[in-house]
Structure formats: C-alpha cells, structure tokens
Amino acid sequence: MSKKYVYLFEEGRTDMKGLLGGKGANLAEMTNIGLPVPQGITVTTEACNDYYAQGRKMPEGLEEEIKEKIAVLEQKVGKKFGDTENPLLLSIRSGAKFSMPGMMDTILNLGLNEQTCDAMTKATNNERFVLDCYRRFIQMFSGVVLNMEHHKFERILETQKEKRGVHFDTELDTDDLKAVVEGYKAIVKRETGRDFPTDPMEQLLLAVQAVFGSWNNQRAIVYRRLNQIPDDLGTAVNIQSMVFGNMGNDCGTGVAFTRNPSTGEKALYGEYLINAQGEDVVAGIRTPQPISKLQEEMPEIYRQFAEICEILEKHYKNMQDIEFTIERGKLYILQTRHGKRTANAAIKIAVEMVGEKLIDKTEAVLRVEANALDQLLHRRIDPDARFDVIAKGLPASPGAACGKVVFDTDEAESLGQTGEKVLLVRTETTPDDIHGIVAAQGILTSRGGMTSHAAVVARGMGKPCVCGCESIKIDYESQQFWVGDLVVKAGDLISIDGATGQVILGQVPMIDPELSPEFQMLLEWADEIRTMAVRANADTPEDAAKAREFGAEGIGLCRTEHMFMAQDRLPVVQEMILAENIEDREVALTKLLPVQQGDFYGILKAMEGFPVYIRLLDPPLHEFLPNIEELVVEITELKCTGGDKKVIEVKEELLRKVRQLHEFNPMLGHRGCRLGVTYPEIYAMQVRAIYQATAQLVKEGVNARPEVMIPLVIHVNELKMLREQAVEIARAIQEEQNVTFDIHVGTMIELPRAAVTADEIATEADFFSFGTNDLTQTTLGFSRDDAEGKFLHEYVNKKILADNPFVVLDQAGVGKLVKMGTDLGRQANPKLKVGICGEHGGEPSSIGFCHQIGMDYVSCSPYRVPIARLASAQAAAGGESSVSTK
Amino acid sequence: MSKKYVYLFEEGRTDMKGLLGGKGANLAEMTNIGLPVPQGITVTTEACNDYYAQGRKMPEGLEEEIKEKIAVLEQKVGKKFGDTENPLLLSIRSGAKFSMPGMMDTILNLGLNEQTCDAMTKATNNERFVLDCYRRFIQMFSGVVLNMEHHKFERILETQKEKRGVHFDTELDTDDLKAVVEGYKAIVKRETGRDFPTDPMEQLLLAVQAVFGSWNNQRAIVYRRLNQIPDDLGTAVNIQSMVFGNMGNDCGTGVAFTRNPSTGEKALYGEYLINAQGEDVVAGIRTPQPISKLQEEMPEIYRQFAEICEILEKHYKNMQDIEFTIERGKLYILQTRHGKRTANAAIKIAVEMVGEKLIDKTEAVLRVEANALDQLLHRRIDPDARFDVIAKGLPASPGAACGKVVFDTDEAESLGQTGEKVLLVRTETTPDDIHGIVAAQGILTSRGGMTSHAAVVARGMGKPCVCGCESIKIDYESQQFWVGDLVVKAGDLISIDGATGQVILGQVPMIDPELSPEFQMLLEWADEIRTMAVRANADTPEDAAKAREFGAEGIGLCRTEHMFMAQDRLPVVQEMILAENIEDREVALTKLLPVQQGDFYGILKAMEGFPVYIRLLDPPLHEFLPNIEELVVEITELKCTGGDKKVIEVKEELLRKVRQLHEFNPMLGHRGCRLGVTYPEIYAMQVRAIYQATAQLVKEGVNARPEVMIPLVIHVNELKMLREQAVEIARAIQEEQNVTFDIHVGTMIELPRAAVTADEIATEADFFSFGTNDLTQTTLGFSRDDAEGKFLHEYVNKKILADNPFVVLDQAGVGKLVKMGTDLGRQANPKLKVGICGEHGGEPSSIGFCHQIGMDYVSCSPYRVPIARLASAQAAAGGESSVSTK
C-alpha cells in the first residue's frame, strides 16, 4: 500500500486540513510551533472515504498502520496502551476539514478496563479519579460505538446522586462511582447481549470506525446541508494521549476565545471548570466560571495561557477558539480553531486587525460572512419601551425576538414552516435540536453557558438567544414554565433580548438597528473593492430613502402595481379594468394619471441622480378584483334568503366579469407586457405619468433618471412595439413642455424564452434586468406559492435539491439561462446594462454568481443592500464569502 | 444604375421566380418554349422592395426603364401604346414568388381613353366591344389605383341592366355601355374630385405603384400569414399586351387544370366563357361551361389547347393550372402555374406521375403537403344513413361538415373562436372573407363554379365546400335562406358533403374515411425514405389498435391518468388521495392495482412487439377531487336552508381537504414526479401494475415492451430515486414470477431546467421524450388554457408571434431548448433514445425540426400518424414540405 493513512502530529501542517481535518491540522501545527500539546496521531479523511468506498469496511493496511503509530506514540509518551503498569489512555475525536462543532462524536479515556484501572489507581493513587474516568468512558463509548441512549446512563447516575442526596457529580465518592460503573456495565450487557469490550485495541478500532460512521449520522448531514459543506469530504480521527482535568482541584478544563465572540472586544473570553473533563464545559451541565476568574485562582497558568493565545492569534491571523486542560498544575492545549463569532464581532475584529496590521482590507472584507450582516440589520427592543422583565439569563446571541412559546423541537419546526413565529424554550439544546432552532425566532434555555450548544449554534445563525436562565423552571409534561409564581404556557407570546439576556412576557416594541462605525468602515472598504453596482428594490419614496441610507446606488426595481392597490385607488383601478370599451377605460385611466405621476415624482426625487428602473404594470388584472368564491357565497346567500333581486343582478354581473378575467394559472396568464400589448392605453398612461413627473422635476432642477422597464417579455416584437410607444410619448412630452431628459427603455428577462432569444431582444433594449423569481418558477415548473407549502421542504430534506431555489439561485439550471441571456444580450448589444432584481440579488452566493458572469449591478430589498455591497466585494476579491463564521 | 428592374419575357426563365415572380417566370418560360403567349415585360420584385425601402417611392431609373421596354414591346407587337391609330392595350398583373390567387390586383385594358377608344373602334369595327373593355378598365383601375369601392360601379351596371330588363352584361348594347361608362366617369369625379386619368403612361405608372402597394394590403398579409410566406419577398408586375376574349362569339376565355384538382383523375378539367374577359370566369358572376364543351364548340382550339396542356405538364413535371383566351379564333396562353389540388388529388397525381416516369418516388413524397392529409383522415357522411337532401350544388372541395348556419364572415370568425362549429353560407365569397372561411367547418355558396374563390380557397384548406348551389336563396337582411318553401335560419344546423355537393338539413351520421391505394403507396414510399420512427399517443387498447392501423411503430405516450378518471374508478382514486396516512392510502392503492394492471395488459398486447412508453401519474391530485366552488355553494345552501348538521360537517371536512390540495397555479404545482417523490407508494403501484401485466403477457408468449416514463423531471436526483424504485420493483417481479423482460426507464423533458441540465439527467435515463406542450407553456410563460382564450389570437394577429406556438413549435425559443436538451443528453449518454410526444409531434414543420436535430422518433395522435410518416420522409428527403399545394 502506498497510501499513508496515519500521521504523527509532528508530520502535519495547518494547510493539510483536507487530509487531516481542521482539528488534526491545527494540533500538528501547534505541536510544530512548540506549544504544549499532548502527543497524538491522526487517521486521515482518505481512510474515512475509503472506508465508505468499501462499504463501511476498514481499508486494508489501516489497522496495522494504527498499531505501528501507536507504538511510536507509546515511546514518546513513555506509557503503553493497555499496559497493566503505566497504561496510556487515549482521547478519540473526529475532525473534518470544516469545523462541525457538536456534530461529530468524541470518546475520552479510551483504553480503560479492570486491569488498566487498577494500574492507573496505583500510578495516581486516586481511585475516585480513575473511576470517574471509567464511568465517563463507558458512557461515551456505549453512546458512540454501541448506539445506546445517553439517558439510560444518566438515569443510573441520577439515581445514585439521589440515593446519596447530592447535587453534583463531583460529590459522588469512590463507592458511588463503583456502583455507577457496575450499573453501566450491567445495562450494556442487558441491552447489547454482550459484555462491554475490555481489549483496548478492540476499543480503539471500534472507536475509529464509529467516528467514520458518525460522518453520516443525521445531525452531521443536516449541519452540512445548512452550511453547504460537501458530503464527500470525510472526517479524520485524532487519537491523542489523554491529559486529565479531573484529577483534583489543581486540575481543570476550559474553552476560551482570544477576543469576545459576541462583541469582538479584544480581551480573553471564556469559561473553565475545576476538576472536570472537557465535555463538562460545553455540555452545559455545570455552569462554569468566567476565564477572568482563572487569573485569581491560578495566576501562572493564566499568564501562560494568555501568552499562548497571543501566539496563536498572531500565527493564524485570526481570532482563535482554544480548548485547554490543566493536569496537576500543568497547562495543555487540546485544540485551536478560528472562533465562531457574531457578525458584529466579526466586523469589529476584522476592522481592528487591519488597524493592528495583522490583515489587509481585502482580507477584512473576506472575513465577514455577508449573510451574517442580516442580524445587524434586524430590529432590537426599543430602549424607550416599558416592559416587564420576568427573568434574566446569559446574553448568548444578540438581537431581539418575539414568538409563541414552544417546548418541542419538532413542533417548533412544523409551526415555523407554517409561518408562525415561535420561540424555542428548552432546559438545554443538543445537536438533535438543530431543525427546531432553524425554525425558531430565538432560543431560551434554562441551563448552560455562553459556549453551550444553544449559544454557539444561535450565534452561528445570527439568531437571538438567552442561555442559562436558571430562574425559569420548565415542565415539558404540562407544556409550561414557571418564573416564581408566574406560569407561561406553550403558545403564550414572549420576547427575548439576546444582547442583554432579558426575558419579557408578551410582545415589546422594537426599533431599527444603528450601524457601528466599524460596519460603515468595512462597507466602505467593500465599496472600494467591488465592481458591481448595488441597487435596491423600492416602490415608495420612504423605501427609496431607506435604500439610499444603506448605500443603494439606484433602484433596480420599482413596482407600480402596489400603487394601484392602495385603498383609495382600487375603485378607480377596478373601474378601469371592468370598462367594457376603450373609451370607458380611458376615463378611468385619466383619473389614475395624476395619482401615478405623484408616485413617480416622489420616488424620482428621493433617488435624485441615481437611475430608477420603473416596471410597468405586471400582475394579471383579476388580482385587483373581488374574489370569485366570496362573490359566489354572497350571491348564494342572497338567493337563499330572498335578497333584493336588483342587488343579486348587479353582483351576478360583477361575477360574470370577474369570471371572464379568471385564470387557471395566473402566474402564466394574461399579465406583464401581455397586458401592455392588449391594452396599450394602460401602459401609455403609466409612461405618461413617468415622463410628466420627470419633466416636472427637470424644471425644478432635480436630476431625475427614470428608465422604463417592460415586464415578462418573451419576444423582441413585444418590446419593439411597447418601446416605440414609450419613446413616442416621452418625445411628445419633451416637445410639449420644452424640457430634455434621457429616454431609456429596457426589459425584465424572467421567462426562459427571453433568456434563449436574448440576442434578438437586446436589439431593442437599453438594459436587461433578470427577474429570477419568475424565471425560477418557469424554469423549474414550480409555482412558489404552491411549492413552498407542498413539496419544496421535502425536496430539500431528501436532498433532491441542495437549497430552496427561491432563496439561493439554482446556478446549474436557472443560472445557466441567466448566463446565456447575459452573453447573448451583450453579443448583440455591447452597451447593454445587465443586472438582477429577483430576491437572489440579496443572497451572497447568488451575488457571487452574478459577478462571475459579469453583471453590471444587483438589486435587492433595502435591508439587504449592505449584504449585497459586501458580497459583491467578496466576489470581486475572489472569495465567495468567508467561512470564518461557519 | 447597374440594377436591371425590367425584363422582356424572352429574357426570363422559370427558375427566376424570386426576381420575376411565379407568373412572370412562367410567362417567360412559355415564351421561350414557343407557346402562344402575348408579348410582355416584367418589373422585378427588387423594384418592389426598393419602392418600399424608399418609403413607397418609385426607385430611380424605373420609370425610364419601363418606357424603354414598352418601346421594344411596341415594336414586337406592331402597336403603339396610347396611339390614336393602332393603340396597344396592356394587362397589368401582380405576380409574387409564391402564388397568391385572388390576393393581388389585376387591371385589364390599360391604355384606354376617348382617343384610343375611337382608334380601337375604327380598328375592330366593334364599338360595343371597345366600350365593354373601357367600362371594365375604369372599374378595375378605380378599384385598384383609386381605392374606390367595387359596389359603387356594380350599382351603376345593375341599374342599367334593370332599366333594360336584361340579366347578363352581354345583353347590354352600345348605348347602354356608353351610359355605363359615363356613369363610371361621373362617380370617379365625384368621389376623387378629379377626372379619371386619360394619359396612358400616367395610367401605367400609377398601376405599377398600385400593384406594389397591393403587396401590403390586408388580404395579402393575412394570406401570407396563413401560408407562412415571408413578408419581404415583394411582388413583380407583369405588363402584357392585351388579347381579347370579349370581341364576340369567336372569342372566349377560360381556366383549366391538366388533371382533375379534386380527384386527381388524368383528364382536362376546367371552365370557359364565350365572349368574356378573364376575370368573368373566376369571379363567379356568370356560371361557365365545362371545358369538355369546348371540344364541341371549337374542336381545333380544343385540340391545340390539349396539346399545349400536355407540353406544359411534361415540361414542368407537375399538374398545371392554365389560363387561356381565344381572340377571334386564335388561342393565347396567359398563365400557367402548378395547380392547387386536394390532398386526394395530390396523392393520386404524385403516384401516377411516378408510374408515368415523370417524377421519382422521393419527388412524389415531396409533392403532397403533409398537413393536407388531415382532410383525408376526417370523417364523411355514412353512406347507409338516411337523410333529406334539401339542395345540391357543385362538389367543390371534398369532405363532409356540419355546423350552425352563419351568413356573416365576422360572426363566423367570432363564433368559431369560441369553439362553435359553423357553416359559412354566402352568395359568393371574396378574398375579404378569408378569416370566416378559416373559422368555418365548411362553406356553401349559391353562385360561382369549381374555380370560384370559395372553391379554390376551400380546397387549399382542405375544408368541405359546396359551390354554385343556385337553388338556395339567401337573404342577409333577415338572416335566412330559402330552398323552395323551406326556411333555414341563422343558427340552424345543416350538413354539407363537399364530395357530392349535397346540402342536408340537420346533422347526419358520419364515418371514418377509407384510404385509397395511392395513399397507402405514397406512405410506403415515405416509410422507405424517412429515418425517424413514428409512434402514437394512445391511452387505450382501442386507440392503440387505431394507431397500428395508421402505421404507428409503438406508443410514445401512454397517459395513465385517464384511466383514473373512469367513473367506476374515481371513488377509489379519491379514497387514495384523501387518505390521511400511508396505511389508508395503501389500502386504496391495493384496490387500484389490478385495475391498472388490466389497462396495461390490454395496451401492451395491442402493441405487441412495439415499445410502449407509459407515463406515470402526471396531473395534480386535486384534479380528481370535487370542485371547490361547487362545494362552497352546496354548503352555503345547506346552511341557509337549515340542512342536516352531520351532512354539513362531512362536506366541510371534504372542503377542508380539497382546499389543502388546492393550488394557485396547478400547471406549476404538485404534479408529475413531484407526486412520485412525495407519495412514492403511488408510483410504486403503477410500476407494479406495468410489470405484472408484462409478466402475465410474457408467460402467454406475447412480446410486451413497456418502458416507464417519469414526467416533469427537473433534476437528475428525482429520476435517480424513481428509477431505482422502478427497477427494484421490476426485478422483484421477475424473481417472484420467474420471467425475464427488459427494464427501461426514461423521462419526459418538459421543463426548461430539464433541457438545460439534460447532460446530468441523461445519465439516469434510457430515453428522453420532449413534452413540448408543457415546455411551451413554461418557456413562454403561457398557460395554454388562459392564453388561447385571452391574448394569443391577438398576438398572432399583431404578428408578434408568427404562429400559435401550441400548434407550430416555436423553434427559436422552445426549439432552442429542445435542441440543447437533445445535444446535451446525447453527449452524456450516446445510447439515449430521443423523441417528442407533444402535439407538435404531428405538425409537419415541427417534425422537420425534430428530424433536423436528430431525434429518433416522433409521437402524435393516431389520426396524425400518416401525416407524421409523410412529413418525416419529406424532412429526410431534404424538403420541409411541398409548396405545390400552396
């Protein structure tokens, strides 16, 4: 076999993450720069992939190689694996290329059995410690390798604690632990039908295979899907000699970040537990001490640790998340990785690191995941609002949220899918709760610290989270929680503030966020780097103003139908639609003209100096009419109850007209420029309104820059006809009013035919705006209204589609048409401006695609403009978006 | 100027049709082979195009060139244009590349004024004849050049006839005609404000420009659209010295076909009128004599004519439509062209000409317009039926039709568009009636012969027509016609038989056509030539048998949902759909399994030896459920009238479920393989039914060849999942029943995403079947149900689209995706079978496209299988389809 499956730590490097996994590569790197890392070896991801390729069988040669390298390890450490004198114990941890915290499995203290326990007891003279290790080992091994349920072991431990009347594990004595170990062994025998494996090498090989297997457990798959991590990377297995944080009060274990992952402040931030093993901290079972306390308790250790933190941060040029263990007064570093952080922290750290000359501006721009800005742009609780805080927990992930209390993860998911806003309330969360967290507005837990599962995951998702709120007592059975005498039931509304830890009964007023100076700085750097313009989709002067505030350089989509929907206008619009002839329709249109002109005046003025692409009427006319079913019920009732015959007649006449306009598939119906072709007078009125408003503004000295956008074009002939009409009207207004302004007419490309005949269409267009919402609907044959409620969720879950194509642009399908349309259009008309105005225009990976195919601009909702600015810059800088917050 | 705009007849050739038009090229050819053609010149189509290019202005040099060539003509003929001694008169006729009968304008006797009339009278000693020519000239010139209405002149003529108490124009004497001419001149002066132009050269130049202008009159535009003739060809103008059929009883004019255009029989077929000018025959004003009568009346002329007919047919190797004039006992040929013919005649002529060694089999196959076969495949009146013939006219175009009597052309069109079957009843038709003829099932006229407008047009369209049915008296005013005492009103049902000329009151039983031996022969030749297989879309054993009878080589689309709709099955299908859980659904599916198995057994048996592509369930489930609106009305009524509460509850529960399944855009909804993915048990049942039927047949020794077709795929992952399921089921049945059969699974390509990712999809597919109906809907964003009723008609009329894209494949848009899908699929999977099963699979130009991009087969409705066989052969032979019947 020429393949090398196992590496000693000193054989690796940080850039070997693909082969050794992130954890293994960093352990190797730290070993090589001389940090106090317990010795170990790494089984490669290749071994894992070969394991799967061979139908879940250990690849040939792997077992021998592991044994060989273990022998080297034994020599270095000076202990022997399975030895009855000085046994080597191992920790087994998974480690994939991308960090997947909590997703994979870990086994500590591997190698223990009756004999090695005895040897350990002799060597340490601490039987209680050995038994503590042993019970942890049996439980972890049984969970990971033997697939036994965690709670079966917990119950034995709890029973023992109850029997002894104690609260914490540390209060159990040697005899208690002996009883626990015996209980554990008995249940393994009962459940699996065989004794707990005692041969250390058998334990090791089973554990390695179990880590391989955990790559494809459900939680890992879901995590990868959520984070767009490929399924074929595989995981490495790190086999490291154990160091013990649970040998007594001169021992401990902890986790710390080199900077504050919530605010970005430059100061050590973390927690530790005295006399504990690693899992105890992140599991959130005992509430740990803040890292600053370590400076008081163990000043020398703290000094060493702070120094190592600085070394690591400078070495990796990034904020680090570091695990450490103190064994009898000696510090060991067990892991380092780029620390997850909130968007706010990511921005502050990136901007400050530029100041510290650790990284350059481009790197800073790449350091912040564009999508994560979203959390900064969300609302927070109005500081002037009065409200009753019923409890306070840890401020684990900033932002405020409000929703109905839900205790069950599955229920949170199913309610969330129906559009219900829910808050997930749990004693603590585990990786099995991911889908509920995804669906919830925010998370509230009664146990666990700032690095507990709920906190880490919520920050990653930019979701508000309050953790360790111990004053609330949760009863899953009765579906309620108490705070003192107050009872809060499932379904009640509560609010949380993840920035303060406050829990509030009911709904509270919230306000828009203010953006930090670092945020502005980062976006300015992004503006220097990006090559695509960023515009907003806005229909009102207020939206336009908001868009400019967020840095939009124009409006890429101004919809005109919302203006028709206003209550005072709808009757006139209906009059226009129901007109039996063109004369009657013209009368109604004449009433609408000044109203529309006013709309356009406001928007063009708000966007002074920037282009405003105004889309002419798009939806089918029946959208403005009463609902058929309601009319039918009304008429049936009137008839049944002997209603006025005249009224019935009028209603029936209305029904007849509404039926005439009814469509089987409105999405594919008589809409967009199909209306413009069959009722040219409607578009004529809109164009007149646009250019009369423009003329008015020009006379007032305002640089108004409207462009007319024709929707739903499928054939150049449509555009030619409607463009001619628009230009004629504009010219007439110029002449009448003796003003000059530019006349630009372009089109949406939102149907496949438009994309594949874009070369023809481009000859009549000044610009293309890809409407990828509709293009996705027709390219995939998915009606969004139907698909999202009926089958899309299942399609993503069954992995038929990687993502919801209405959120993330389907590059292989829809994207192919967008690229084709862009290329064909540019070939035929090199001056053509090309952009996107579907919702994808605010989604980072889709923005990356737009950059890649050479678009001139993206347009998105005002609140996503900052995201688009950042994502455009990242695309221009060559990265898609940073993975540092993944 | 290097451009030559005017050609003498002897300078042209038959292959110069593009430049000289069909008429001009044939006049030149006949001149050159020595036939008695009156001398003349042709102004080229280039001159016409330059006329339009310069904004309807005579191109530079054209006037001089015309005068030059007229001088040459004068020398040859020995008369001078405008001369007061021996004046040359001219006929001016349009002539485009493709024959457009009745669409363009003609002026005879040009050059007449007071002086030339006097000279003519002296020369011919026949004042009546000269006046007859003069009044015709004034009327035609005024109509064509001065845009005056025909009926204004007709009224003057009719008034004169009434005054004299005569019936025919020929009964008017010299004084009468003088009065008519004066009346004509007076009305021209009154209407146009100026005298009728008297300068012959001014007359000529105005006439040439008027012919150019007539290229773009409404009738010509409509004709070109109907016949897919490009708009930019332009028309030539033929200027020919007049010969006169109206100089007395040794004169005449006529039209004849070298073979019978209705039956194809090899015998002269035509009509003539003694003492008449050309327009009198085709205008249908006097009912002419059959050509056989000429043999009695003028045997020598007839002999000469028959000889010329034979020469021309051999020269052109095609049946000819020849116009002739006899001037004082001398025969002149005025025009020859390929004769229009019925499909039956086209087949008989093509097959017989192969026998006569005039053409080869491939040419014969190219000679018959594939679409025209449709008329042969339509029904005719059951010969055993009893019915009352109320009248009998000329059998002008074969086939039987039944419909409501409509007298108004516009009404025929508007009723026809709503799907109403109408019969257009007119005294005679004109080119202005085209749109009504298109919309009608058949045409009945009370005047005019076999070559009248109605007859020619109806034959071209393959529509039943009865002409010259003089026993019916039509009164447009009261909207009825009489046959003796019988009154038939607008809206009454009548039937006509275009093969016998019978007119029948009410509806009569009709039967399927039997196909002639020539038809079978031609299709056999087509089968030898074509390279694509032809299959049928068929859902029942009966359809399958019919398809085989017509020569289908398999079933390209067997829909399974029609089987679900049968009344006895629907309740079980509803039970299956409304099941709240998978167990209940399985119960219903178990009931459906044997029923479906029976369906498949029948079809596979009927198609023994040929592949049958069975499409799994496609429509959204709510199509099988009650209508929401009806349910709502029912519940409202029950509530209003105090109905049984239990019943209301049950109905409301049903309504709730139906609402759950309701979709906004069912076309883009939860259908096709989306159902297969979310309810795998439904597809599993269908696949089981298919292969159990197959196993049963294999055991019976029948070669059953099912292939499973997955509808509406957008992503390879869907197909992979459903294919695996199907293969697994098939294998299990093979094992259980110990039989072998091939397992093939393929997919419809009917959504744009499938086409653009066909390379991925092809890796899991044995075949692609392009569903161009749905692909057209999504590519264009047109819901067919909505578009055809709402705007598609206007789109075609406004020439935004050349054709209804649901009838003729939109090659530039949809076709581009079909080609892309085919190419990508073949690249990824060279064994991939590719075909089409949308309605376009039976449309000749679309079939040509399928051949061109290399498809393996087309599939269409059984009745269109012969069309597809012929069109495929024509495509393989390099022609698209013959223009000989255009």
DSSP structure string for B284-313: TSS--EETHHHHHH-HHHHHHHHHHHHHHH
Each residue of B27-61: pLDDT tens digit? 999 999 999 999 999 999 999 999 999 999 999 99
Position B491 scores a pLDDT of: 93
Cα(B597)–Cα(B627) distance, rounded to whole angstroms? 29
Position B626 scores a pLDDT of: 83
Position B886 scores a pLDDT of: 31
Cβ separation A665–B666 shorter than 8 A: yes
Cα(B787)–Cα(B783) distance, rounded to whole angstroms? 6
Chain A nearest-CA distance from B815, in A, is 10
What secondary structure, in 3-state letters, does A464-485 show?
CEEECCCCEEEECCCCEEEECC
* A563, pLDDT greater than 50: yes
Give the burial class of A707: count Cβ atoms within 10 A of its Cβ; 0-12 exposed, 13-18 middle, 19 or more buried.
buried
Position B218 scores a pLDDT of: 78
Q: Show the beta-strand stretches assigned E in A528-640.
A: 533-537, 555-559, 611-615
Catalytic residue among A338, A453, A840, A851: A453
Q: Assign B218 to helix, strand or coil.
A: helix
- Residue A835 — very low, low, confident or very high, per pLDDT cuts 50/70/90? very high
Each residue of B381-411: pLDDT tens digit? 886 788 889 999 888 877 899 999 999 988 9
DSSP A523: H
The answer to which of A479-488, A865-874, B215-224, B686-695 has the lowest mean pLDDT is: B215-224
Range A877-883 contact pairs with CB under 8 angstroms and sequence separation of 24 or more: A877/A362, A877/A365, A877/A366, A877/A529, A879/A366, A880/A844, A880/A845, A880/A848, A881/A366, A881/A369, A881/A370, A881/A371, A881/A844, A881/A845, A881/A848, A882/A346, A882/A366, A882/A367, A882/A368, A882/A369, A883/A98, A883/A369
Chain A residues near residue B800 by CB distance under 8 angstroms: 677, 715, 717-718, 721
Give the burial class of A247: count Cβ atoms within 10 A of its Cβ; 0-12 exposed, 13-18 middle, 19 or more buried.
buried
Closest to A663 (Cβ–Cβ): which among B641, B783, B800?
B783
Each residue of A155-206: pLDDT tens digit? 999 899 999 988 888 888 999 999 999 999 999 999 999 999 999 999 999 9
Q: What is the mean pLDDT of residues B251-280?
A: 90
Chain B nearest-CA distance from A580, in A, is 15
User: What percent of chain B has pLDDT above 70?
Assistant: 96
> Per mean pLDDT, which of A238-252, A792-806, A814-828, B143-157 is the most reliable?
A814-828
* A705, pLDDT greater than 60: yes
Position B150 scores a pLDDT of: 83
- Residue A103 — very low, low, confident or very high, per pLDDT cuts 50/70/90? low
CB within 8 Å of A666: residues ≥ 6 apart: A619, A620, A622, A623, B664, B665, B786
Instruction: Tell me how crowded residue B296 is: count the other CB atoms within 10 A of its CB.
Output: 9
DSSP A428: S
Position B620 scores a pLDDT of: 84
Q: A634 vs A688, which has greater pLDDT?
A: A688
The H-or-E segment that residue B389 falls in is: strand B389-392
Position B885 scores a pLDDT of: 35
- Residue B428 — very low, low, confident or very high, per pLDDT cuts 50/70/90? confident
* B809, pLDDT greater than 50: yes
Each residue of B445-500: pLDDT tens digit? 988 776 677 886 776 566 899 988 888 989 888 899 999 889 999 999 999 998 78
AA identity, residue A540 = T
- Residue A406 — very low, low, confident or very high, per pLDDT cuts 50/70/90? very high
Cα(A852)–Cα(A875) distance, rounded to whole angstroms? 8
- Residue A347 — very low, low, confident or very high, per pLDDT cuts 50/70/90? very high
Chain B nearest-CA distance from A810, in A, is 10
CB B311 within 8 A of CB B331: no
- Count Cα atoms within 13 angstroms, Cβ side, for B329: 2
Chain A nearest-CA distance from B233, in A, is 20
Cβ separation A664–B664 shorter than 8 A: no
Q: What is the mean pLDDT of residues A449-460?
A: 72
Position A343 scores a pLDDT of: 84
The answer to which of A176-185, A382-391, B676-685 has the lowest mean pLDDT is: A382-391
Q: What is the mean pLDDT of residues B296-315?
A: 96
Termini Cα distance of chain B? 36
Q: What is the CA radius of gyration of chain B?
A: 32
Q: Is A453 a catalytic residue?
A: yes
Average pLDDT of chain B, as a whole number: 90
Regarding an ipTM greater than 0.85, the answer is no
Q: What is the mean pLDDT of residues A308-331?
A: 95
Position B882 scores a pLDDT of: 39
Chain B residues near residue A669 by CB distance under 8 angstroms: 783, 786-787, 790
- Residue B321 — very low, low, confident or very high, per pLDDT cuts 50/70/90? very high
Q: What is the mean pLDDT of residues B547-551?
A: 92
CA of B271: how far to CAs of B247, B282, B329, in Å?
19, 9, 17
Cβ separation A665–B670 shorter than 8 A: no
Nearest chain B residue to A790, by CA = B670
Chain A residues near residue B783 by CB distance under 8 angstroms: 663-665, 667-669
DSSP B232: T
Give the burial class of B438: count Cβ atoms within 10 A of its Cβ; 0-12 exposed, 13-18 middle, 19 or more buried.
middle
- Residue A60 — very low, low, confident or very high, per pLDDT cuts 50/70/90? very high
Q: Is A837 a catalytic residue?
A: yes
User: What percent of chain A has pLDDT above 70?
Assistant: 96
Q: B569 vs B267, which has greater pLDDT?
A: B267
Cα(A135)–Cα(A119) distance, rounded to whole angstroms? 16
* A378, pLDDT greater than 90: no
Cα(A446)–Cα(A285) distance, rounded to whole angstroms? 11
Cβ separation B632–A632 shorter than 8 A: yes
Each residue of A637-650: pLDDT tens digit? 888 888 888 988 88
Closest to B813 (Cβ–Cβ): which among A757, A795, A801?
A757
Nearest chain A residue to B819, by CA = A756
Q: What is the mean pLDDT of residues B4-18?
A: 94
Exposure string for B93-131, b = 16+ CB within 10 A, e = fewer: bbbbbbbbbbbbbbbbbbbbbeebbebbbeebebbbbbb
Average pLDDT of chain A, as a whole number: 90
The answer to which of A220-234, A865-879, B240-254 has the lowest mean pLDDT is: A220-234
Closest to A632 (Cβ–Cβ): which among B633, B672, B753?
B633
* A799, pLDDT greater than 90: no
Dmax over Cα atoms in chain A, in whole Å?
Answer: 104
Chain A residues near residue B640 by CB distance under 8 angstroms: 636-637, 640-641
Each residue of A842-878: pLDDT tens digit? 999 999 999 999 999 999 988 789 999 999 999 999 8
The answer to which of A118-132, A196-210, A371-385, A388-402 has the lowest mean pLDDT is: A371-385
Position A579 scores a pLDDT of: 87
Q: Assign A444 to helix, strand or coil.
A: strand
AA identity, residue B842 = G
Position A334 scores a pLDDT of: 93
User: What percent of chain B has pLDDT above 90?
Assistant: 64
* B102, pLDDT greater than 60: no
Cβ separation B668–A813 shorter than 8 A: no
User: What percent of chain A has pLDDT above 90?
Assistant: 64
Cβ separation B783–A665 shorter than 8 A: yes
Cβ separation B778–A779 shorter than 8 A: yes
Chain A nearest-CA distance from B658, in A, is 14
Closest to A636 (Cβ–Cβ): which among B633, B753, B813?
B633
Cβ separation B633–A637 shorter than 8 A: no
Cα(A265)–Cα(A258) distance, rounded to whole angstroms? 9
Give the burial class of B857: count Cβ atoms within 10 A of its Cβ; 0-12 exposed, 13-18 middle, 19 or more buried.
buried
Enzyme catalytic residues of B: 453, 837
Chain A residues near residue B774 by CB distance under 8 angstroms: 781
Question: What's the pTM value of the predicted model, to 2 decimals?
Answer: 0.79
CB A725 within 8 A of CB A762: no
Q: A218 vs A592, which has greater pLDDT?
A: A592
Position B884 scores a pLDDT of: 36
